[in-house]
């Protein structure tokens, strides 16, 4: 990093230039020796420059900045919106100060301000990213929006207007019971450096229909409540279910939401799958299960044709959706 002459520094930020990380570091170092960020109340009377000339560098927390040049020094001058513009600052009708042309062009001023002011920052979260479809689950949505450097004109969550905080930090929350997937779309309209902009953020919670696997003496589970099925329940995003354990003269079941599945054992042996009345090792049919909210979900039933016995040894079977 280095302190560069301003004339040379300007050449690094001309049209079609692609400044490097080092160029930006040099820009910041150079400006830190020539720019004071000052706060001055434009309202009232008196010489507008009195406080400027006697001020020390402080951190700004205002909404908008203007670059001015005075007494051989470039300043970033912040004040209430509408009180000033490039070229002059007026505190009263009798106190009008013409500004000396800045040593930076308007385009370069915009680049400087871009480095100092932030855009809208949004942090979204959900208490649950996935849950069981059909089972009422409380979902808590929260968005923390930092808009301290812009002027926000509208915040909407799924097209519903939200209150905007004057502090520059707005929190949007929503709590509701869901039985199915839902997306939360947060749209923010705002003005930054005089330009209308929009930020759109989306976060989703996904409801998965339950899948089941395990051993049972049941011959058919079609159209029964899932709570009555004595099998292991799986909730999640996976096309694979695996049973691993001792086979003790019971039927091995897989109930899944995918179609066109393959079943193989721990040795990679692929087993034939036939229809519900065939003589293949596994039999298969389509059907329905009733979810917790009473709605029906289409599923695929797979059952070993006969009961299986592994004589006290662990054995593994896996079903994969294609």
- Tens of pLDDT, residue by residue over 103-149, are 455 566 566 666 656 688 999 999 999 999 999 999 999 999 999 88
CA–CA separation, 237 and 214 (whole Å):
19
For residue 166, pLDDT beyond 60: yes
Q: Are residues 129 and 193 in the same domain?
A: yes
pLDDT bucket at 11, cuts 50 / 70 / 90: confident
CA–CA separation, 9 and 41 (whole Å):
32
Q: Are residues 126 and 111 in the same domain?
A: no
Q: Are residues 83 and 164 in the same domain?
A: no
Does 21 map to a domain?
no
For residue 228, pLDDT beyond 80: no
Residue 224 vs residue 132, higher pLDDT = 132
CA–CA separation, 246 and 254 (whole Å):
16
What's the confidence (pLDDT) of residue 110? 61
CATH number of the domain within which 134 lies: 2.60.40.10
What's the confidence (pLDDT) of residue 14? 78
A 10 A CB-CB count for 131 gives: 20
Does 312 map to a domain?
yes
- Tens of pLDDT, residue by residue over 68-114, are 444 444 454 444 333 333 344 443 333 333 333 344 555 665 666 66
For residue 19, pLDDT beyond 90: no
What's the confidence (pLDDT) of residue 26? 78
Q: Are residues 200 and 254 in the same domain?
A: no
Q: Are residues 38 and 103 in the same domain?
A: yes
Q: Which residues pair with residue 318 across a beta bridge? A: 242, 264
pLDDT, averaged across the chain:
77
Number of domain units in the chain: 3
What's the confidence (pLDDT) of residue 150? 86
CA–CA separation, 13 and 154 (whole Å):
34
Which residues neighbour 222 within 8 Å (Cβ) at sequence distance 6 or greater? Answer: 285, 287, 288, 301
Q: Are residues 308 and 221 in the same domain?
A: yes
For residue 301, pLDDT beyond 60: yes
Burial class (CB in 10 A: 0-12, 13-18, 19+), 120: buried
Closest CA to 204 of 123, 120, 130, 121: 130
Domain span at 310: 211-321
Does 290 map to a domain?
yes
Does 171 map to a domain?
yes
CA–CA separation, 255 and 269 (whole Å):
20
pLDDT bucket at 58, cuts 50 / 70 / 90: very low
Considering only CA atoms, give the Rg of the chain: 33
The SS3 assignment for 50 reads: helix
Chain center to CA of 315: 42
Q: pTM of the predicted model, to two decimals?
A: 0.64
The last residue of a domain, from among 116, 132, 159: 116
């Amino acid at each position: 990093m280095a302190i560069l002459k301003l004339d040379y520094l300007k050449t690094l930020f001309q049209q079609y230039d692609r400044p490097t990380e080092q160029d930006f570091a040099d820009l910041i170092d150079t400006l830190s020796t020539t720019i004071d960020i000052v706060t001055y109340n434009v309202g009232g009377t008196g010489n507008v420059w009195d406080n400027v000339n006697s001020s020390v560098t402080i951190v700004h927390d205002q909404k908008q900045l203007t670059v001015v040049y005075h007494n051989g020094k470039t300043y970033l001058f912040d004040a209430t919106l509408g009180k000033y513009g490039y070229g002059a600052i007026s505190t009263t009708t009798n106190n009008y100060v013409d500004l000396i042309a800045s040593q930076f062009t308007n385009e370069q001023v915009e680049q400087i301000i871009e480095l100092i002011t932030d855009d809208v920052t949004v942090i979204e979260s959900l208490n649950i990213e996935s849950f069981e479809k059909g089972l009422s689950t409380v979902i808590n949505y929260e968005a923390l929006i930092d808009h301290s450097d812009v002027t926000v004109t509208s915040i909407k969550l799924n097209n519903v207007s939200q209150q905007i905080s004057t502090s520059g930090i707005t929190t949007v929350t929503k709590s509701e019971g869901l039985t199915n997937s839902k997306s939360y779309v947060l749209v923010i309209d705002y003005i930054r450096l005089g330009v209308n902009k929009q930020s759109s953020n989306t976060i989703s919670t996904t409801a998965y229909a339950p899948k089941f696997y395990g051993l049972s003496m049941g011959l058919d589970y079609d159209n029964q409540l899932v709570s009555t099925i004595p099998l292991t329940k799986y909730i999640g995003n996976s096309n694979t279910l695996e049973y691993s354990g001792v086979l003790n003269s019971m039927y091995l079941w897989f109930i899944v939401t995918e179609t066109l599945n393959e079943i193989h054992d721990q040795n990679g042996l692929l087993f034939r799958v036939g229809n519900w009345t065939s003589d293949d090792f596994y039999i298969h049919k389509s059907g329905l299960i009733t979810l917790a909210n009473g709605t029906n979900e289409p599923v695929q039933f797979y059952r070993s044709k006969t009961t299986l016995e592994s004589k006290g040894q662990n054995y593994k079977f896996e079903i994969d959706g294609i």
